[in-house]
Amino acid sequence: MRKTFICGNWKLNHDLETTRATLREMIQKLPSSRDVEVGIAPVTTTLFAACEVAKGSRIHIAAQNVHHAEKGAYTGEVSCAHLRELGVTHVIIGHSERRQYFGETSGEVAQKTRAALDMGLVPIVCIGEQLEDREAGRTMAVIDEQLAPVLDVLHPPDVPTLVIAYEPVWAIGTGKTASAAQAQEVHAHIRAQVRSKFQEAAEQVRIQYGGSVKPSNAKELLAEPDVDGALVGGASLTADSFVGIIEAVS
Ligand code: PEP
């Protein structure tokens, strides 16, 4: 049985004060039942404070990016060990904004995924097609190209830890959501790809949907058999809308 996992991605939003206040409000308003796993990925400079506020609560703190190396001459980067020592437990890897604006490749995504797993962090690996890909009937080909390097660096015991976020780029921050059927079709394909390499362990991989998820559409999307959670941008920025999503799927 896969536990539903809802993770907020705050991107480049919320200063230190707002981070603390929003997390406190979320902790206070979240339903007490723990049937849904909950995470928030705040801005890197606020991770330490976020971990302090979230300690002992049901909110996992995730980073939005990481470097694959343990240490060395990588000015401006942060390693998995740095994240771990703060109390961070999850890390978003290969978000489409990192691929698009920072030139992150699927090979780098795979390296980061390996590094995260080796350091005991849960990688949330983002994959998804652009609108042109979908219109050209290339959705599954793009998914396969992005997923294959990640599957290549996995060992069988890593598979149940892995979280994959399917985020059609045309649905991120646009208000356009993939229909539940469109999401399910791609999620089932992703699981089939994992199954072809790791057999029944694929049943344990959680596949989140991301792209304009909000309290009003979360339940329908998560009712699909292969949609195991959501990666949420805009609607995770306030306690009321984020908690609304958790309540809708609990
Ligand atoms: C995201 O950034 O991963 C995302 C899905 O954003 P939004 O929910 O705002 O579309």
What spacing in Å lies between the alpha carbon of 28 and ligand 1's midpoint? Answer: 24
Q: Which of 30-34, 67-71, 229-233 has the lowest mean pLDDT?
A: 30-34
What spacing in Å lies between the alpha carbon of 20 and ligand 1's midpoint? Answer: 21
Helix (H) / strand (E) element for 86: namely helix 80-86
Nearest Cα residue to atom 6 of ligand 1: 233
Rounded Cα distance between 52 and 37, Å, is 19
Which atom of ligand 1 is least distant from the CA of 214?
8
Backbone CA torsion sign across 48, 52, 55, 58: negative
Each residue's pLDDT tens digit, 54-74: 999 999 999 999 999 999 999
Average pLDDT over residues 19-46: 96
Tokens representing 88 are 């961070």
pTM, two decimals, is: 0.98
Each residue's pLDDT tens digit, 157-202: 999 999 999 999 999 989 888 999 999 999 999 999 999 999 999 9
Average pLDDT over residues 21-37: 94
Nearest Cα residue to atom 2 of ligand 1: 233
Given this model, what pLDDT does residue 26 score? 98
DSSP 8-state symbol, 79: B
Find the residues whose C-beta lies inside 6 A of ligand 1: 9, 167, 172-173, 210-213, 231-235
Catalogue all structural domains in the chain, each as residue range(s) with its CATH number.
4-249 (3.20.20.70)
Does the pLDDT value for residue 226 go beyond 90? yes
What spacing in Å lies between the alpha carbon of 73 and ligand 1's midpoint? Answer: 32
Rounded Cα distance between 161 and 157, Å, is 8
Does the pLDDT value for residue 1 go beyond 90? no
Angle 58-50-12 (CA atoms, 0-180°, nearest 5)?
115
Each residue's pLDDT tens digit, 74-119: 999 999 999 999 999 999 999 999 999 999 999 999 999 999 999 9
To the nearest whole percent, how much of the chain has pLDDT over 90? Answer: 96
Given this model, what pLDDT does residue 198 score? 98
Which atom of ligand 1 is least distant from the CA of 230?
5
Nearest Cα residue to atom 3 of ligand 1: 233
Question: Taking the CA atoms of the chain, what radius of gyration do you get in angstroms?
Answer: 17
Of 89, 18, 9, 12, which is closest to residue 57 (Cα–Cα)? 89
Largest CA distance in the chain: 47
Given this model, what pLDDT does residue 34 score? 84
Tokens 């979230």 correspond to: 54
The one-letter amino acid at 72: G
Each residue's pLDDT tens digit, 117-167: 999 999 999 999 999 999 999 999 999 999 999 999 999 999 999 999 999
Which atom of ligand 1 is least distant from the CA of 167?
5
Q: Count Cβ atoms below 10 Å from residue 69 Cβ, excluding itself.
A: 14
**Catalytic positions:** 95, 167
What spacing in Å lies between the alpha carbon of 167 and ligand 1's midpoint? Answer: 8
DSSP 8-state symbol, 167: -
Given this model, what pLDDT does residue 32 score? 84
Number of H helices, E strands in the chain: 10, 8
Each residue's pLDDT tens digit, 39-54: 999 999 999 999 999 9
Nearest Cα residue to atom 8 of ligand 1: 233
Which atom of ligand 1 is least distant from the CA of 171?
10
Of 200, 222, 240, which is closest to residue 30 (Cα–Cα)? 240
Ligand 1 pocket test, pick from 40, 96, 127, 172 with the greatest ligand atom count within 8 Å of Cβ, gives 172
- Compute the mean pLDDT over every residue in the chain, rounded to the nearest whole number: 97
Nearest Cα residue to atom 1 of ligand 1: 233
